[in-house]
Amino acid sequence: MTSARGVRPAAKRAASRSGVDWAPPLICAGLWACALTWMYMLRRAPHSDDWLLPKRAGFGFFELAMKAGGFLPRPVFSWAALSLLLAGLLIVAWRIWKLAASGAAAKARSKAQLGAGAAAAALLVWMGLRVFLDLLQNAYFPHDSLDLREPALVFAATFVFGGLWAFTSLGLANWLMGGARSSGRRRAGIGTACLVGASAFIYAWGLAFCDLGKADLAQALGLEPEPSPARAVLILSESSGRPDWEFHRAPAGWGGAGFSESGFEAARRLAQRPSVHRWAALRYLYNGLTVSMDAAGLRAALELGTRLGDPLARLLLLESLSADPASAGSREILALLSDESRFRVGSQAAARLAAIYHKLGNTEDAEAWLGRAHTRGFPKGLLRLPPAGPRTGAIRGRLSSNIPVHRLGLYESKAGAFQLGPGQLVDSVAPGSRGAFIFRDLPEGDYFLALGLEGEQQPLRVRGNPGVITLKTGRRINLAPLQISR
């Protein structure tokens, strides 16, 4: 005969076995979401606020991640996140152990089936989250985006996938080891179907809208994976104070795509829509236009990258504008970078803007930005602005060569270095019918020439090499005839 006291615990156990206990899945999902979101944002947060950062609401959250990343070693956060992940696993394991203890004795076969089912569910979680994060950071949000939607989406996706994994695993435990076999089987089936559906939906979205199935940039751009025509670069430099020259073979492409005008146009279109090759397309543009010595095209590409949120474009554009001749286009780009309603301007960026405004002859804005740089931590006395002079300098010359020359670039020589980066390219021209060329509206400074050659055959003789060209304020320099021959 069963007493009333014995009936109530038995009924309670039966109800707990047949009902859905939501606490373990929700706690596991919350712990996993917190761990992955925090680690994700530590990796995606800016390393410094000294330069240009997007100005958006919620900057305090990212600022906290930046300070935490600089204050404590990265392994501390890795171990903390791993502890949260293990805590979620232990909660689910503890609940499974209770189900096994309250039901019939679990057989070894049931345990193996449970382990295989939980591992399969975990694989679905990994596949779904991996594709989701790939789309998030490569198709929709650039690095240093400072957009609160990014961590919110990471948290939501991890919460959903983590909760579904825990729900499915507990359903399997109820089916194989607990007393509620029918409801457990149903819950395991629902959880598995949701995991498969969510992963398939994310993957299908990537295939349909984000070029997820394209193996490389060449496929995404719709180009044949063939190299562009071979090119080389002849740098007219100096060695030990005497004119010298260097010969380098230029890269024919980037990301599996050869450099070409059609490729540049396709990259511009691709960069303006969600695609996992979006940021690669911008890198292709920056590299290709630098190799092609297309100064105007390069600055237009960097402006496009800046408007799309690419942090590399912002840095390169600041450096490029410091070597840019005065033009309406450069002033418009400078106004974009100086817009404090759009960007948080750090101390280094403010000092760079001051130097650029000074080069353009705008003394008032140069002094204002230098004052902001000092206020924001830039050391006083490190940057001095000499009196601004007229920007009427010019360099002209004539080229004769039995090697086809497709472009002649003027570069700024900084600290005696002869680098062909996007920040050193001042201007470029195609030689005229008789080889004449001219560079106008140049500020005072040291410059050197570089020639883009067709083919890869090395020249044997260079005559009239000017080496470093020192231009004083207001001067016009006529170079000696430049002769290039094999």
Q: Which of 319, 316, 323, 290 is nearest to 441 (CA)?
A: 323
- Tens digits of per-residue pLDDT, 144-175? 899 999 999 999 999 999 999 999 998 888 88
3 pLDDT band, cuts 50/70/90, is very low
Q: Which of these, 334, 286, 295, lies nearest to 313 by C-alpha position? A: 286
- The per-residue pLDDT for 11 is 37
Mean pLDDT computed over 54-70 = 78
pLDDT at 209: 96
User: Are 302 and 313 spatial neighbours (Cβ–Cβ below 8 Å)?
Assistant: yes
pLDDT at 445: 85
pLDDT tens-digit map of 24-48: 899 999 999 999 998 888 888 888 8
CA 334 to CA 321: how far, in whole Å? 8
Distance from C-alpha of 351 to C-alpha of 51, rounded to nearest angstrom? 10
Task: Give tens-digit pLDDT for 426-448.
Answer: 999 998 878 999 998 888 889 99
Mean pLDDT of 388-415: 84
pTM given for the model: 0.87
The 10 Å CB-count burial string (b at 16+, else e) for 77-116 is beeebeebbeebbebbeebbeebbeebeebeeebeeebee
Residues 6+ apart with CB under 8 A from 485: 401, 402, 403, 459, 460, 461
Give Cα separations from 159 to 23, 32, 78 (angstroms): 13, 7, 19
Maximum CA extent, the chain:
117
Neighbouring residues of 28: CB distance < 8 A, sequence distance ≥ 6:
88, 89, 91, 92, 162, 163, 165, 166
Q: What is the pLDDT of residues 348-379, one digit of tens each?
A: 999 999 988 888 778 889 999 999 999 999 99
CATH number of the domain located at residue range(s) 393-485 in this protein: 2.60.40.10
Tokens of 354: 């001051």
pLDDT in tens, 457-473: 777 789 999 999 998 87
Domain-wise residue ranges, the chain:
18-209, 393-485
Cα–Cα distances in Å, from 64 out to 200, 311, 437? Answer: 35, 20, 53
Tell me the average pLDDT across 385-390: 62
